[in-house]
Amino acid sequence: MLEYLEKLPEKERIALDKLRSQVQSLVPMAEEGLSRGVPFYYYLGKRVVGFRSSKKHLSFFIMDGRVLKDFSDKLETFDHSSTVLRFTADKPLPEALIAQLVRARISEIDHQLTKKT
């Protein structure tokens, strides 16, 4: 993941590194990995969140569309789809929103795994 970040322009690298640090503090037991060149965090073998830099924006992937749907009222100022929030280094995602989304995704994973046992 560090190699991915090191290749980015400075503003984007700083923004995504801050996002990375926040995710790490929220889910310290999560493992970092790459899937198709995109950095992701895995918790109990399931993808939690990921991020990517594009020419026009940065992306924050929430790996369950139900999570973003539950927070739709808080996403109105950001371009988004069912599983992706798009933002820029100049207009980053609020830390409180990131925390809520990550915690909701962890809760989803815990719930899914509890149902299987």
Which pLDDT score, from 0 to 100, does residue 7 have? 93
Q: From CA 90, how far away is CA 60, in angstroms rounded?
A: 15
3-class secondary-structure state, position 14: helix
- 60-94 as b/e: b if 16+ CB within 10 A: bbbbbeebbeebeeeeeebebeebbbbbebeebbe
CATH pick for 2-109 out of 2.40.110.10, 3.30.565.10, 3.40.50.300, 3.90.1150.200: 3.90.1150.200
Phi first, then psi, for residue 91 (nearest 5°) are -130, 75
Q: For 14-27, what is each residue's pLDDT tens digit?
A: 999 999 999 999 99
| pTM score over 0.85 | yes
The DSSP string of 35-46 is: ETTEEEEEETTE
Q: For 62-71, what is each residue's pLDDT tens digit?
A: 998 889 999 9
Task: Please give the chain's pLDDT, 117 residues, in tens.
Answer: 888 899 999 999 999 999 999 999 999 999 999 988 899 999 999 999 999 999 999 999 999 888 999 998 999 899 999 999 999 999 999 999 999 999 999 999 999 888 876
